[in-house]
Structure 1
Amino acid sequence: MSTTKPVLVRAAEAEVLPAAGVTLFADVTDTGGHLTSHRSLLRPGKDSAPPHQHKEASELFFVLTGSLRVLLGDDLITLAKGDVLVVPPNTPHAFEAAGDEDTEVFFVLTHAKPRFDYYRLLERVYRGETAASDLAKTSNLYDNHYIESPTWNGRVSGR
């Protein structure tokens, strides 16, 4: 899979999944298998990504606004506006808005499997149209493997 043409996604043309707070930009099917990208709007006090890892993909986080609490292995860190984090494969991670303001994050996954249908499934979960347990059934399909994390479970929300 390779592509020799640029991929341009105009903001007005990007698919928006409002319940999940996700805007889809380019998936691996658009980029010749190189990467997938999206933006997430995370609200304080709302569940975000629980502990998980990707066996194949690296994940880049770029904080556009607000601040982000991140589980990184067994550590909790906070990213601020403008910070970049790259999480390599097989690294446990989770994230949520930190503080009292909305947080926007741009994500890029490389060596990723197609992921847009995962976010569409997540949208249906947030709308109450399907069970959250359906997400776990797709672990291998989307390379999103949920794990347990005592560190994440024991965090104190700063909200």
Structure 2
Amino acid sequence: MTLVRAAQAELLDSDPASVITLLLDPEHTGGALTSNRTLLKQGTDGAPPHRHTLSGELFFVLGGALEVLVGTELRTLHEGDALFVPPGTPHAFAPADGQDADFLVVITPGKPRFDYYRLLDEVHRGEATWSQVGETQDRFDNHYVDSPVWAARRQAVRR
């Protein structure tokens, strides 16, 4: 059993538009899963289109609304909604227009990802580059992909 108390969880908050709370990584779960809580503030770009070759990803919305790309479809999740994205499926996510999104992420089976989130935090502090993030795609099973649907969504939101 592994218990993570709220006061013990590591907070990554260098990006003024988001907070990632690291909960469980495979070292804590015998490889079963990775989990974090993410708060994305309205207007942030969120996560770009990507896929995981080995893991599926569960999203559970705790508050606000989250827009998610799954393959070529956009879905808006509201408080209490859950969505599972199977391995290999391109997906992206950001707060729905005009809202914050507070949600739980569970990736299973687990692959160590805490260092990926820490690297993103370093980028926001100016201590790492997006190029360095791109170089970690195989290490963290986080493979970036192009999505015309997500690109059009971003343009529409910015208008």
In the alignment, which of 37, 43, 49 is matched to residue 39 of structure 1? Answer: 37
Relative to the length of structure 1, the TM-score reads: 0.93
Give the % identical residues: 53
Deviation at 1:45, TM superposition (A): 1.1
In the alignment, which of 23, 26, 39 is matched to residue 24 of structure 2? Answer: 26
Relative to the length of structure 2, the TM-score reads: 0.93
Letter in 1 for 2:157: S
Deviation at 1:48, TM superposition (A): 1.1
User: 5+ residue gaps in structure 1?
Assistant: 1-5
Q: SS of the residue aligned with 1:114? A: coil
Moved over 2 A (4+): none
Does structure 2 retain, via aligned residues, the 8 Å contact 1:112–1:143?
A: no
Q: SS of the residue aligned with 1:41? A: strand
Higher fraction of helix: 2
Partner of 1:12: 7
Partner of 2:146: 148
Deviation at 1:52, TM superposition (A): 0.1
Distance 2:88 2:30 in 1: 23
Q: Deviations over 1:56-114 (max 9, x none)?
A: 01100000000001111001110011000000000000000013232101000011310
Does structure 2 retain, via aligned residues, the 8 Å contact 1:99–1:158?
A: no
Q: How many residues end up aligned between the 2 structures?
A: 154
Partner of 1:3: none
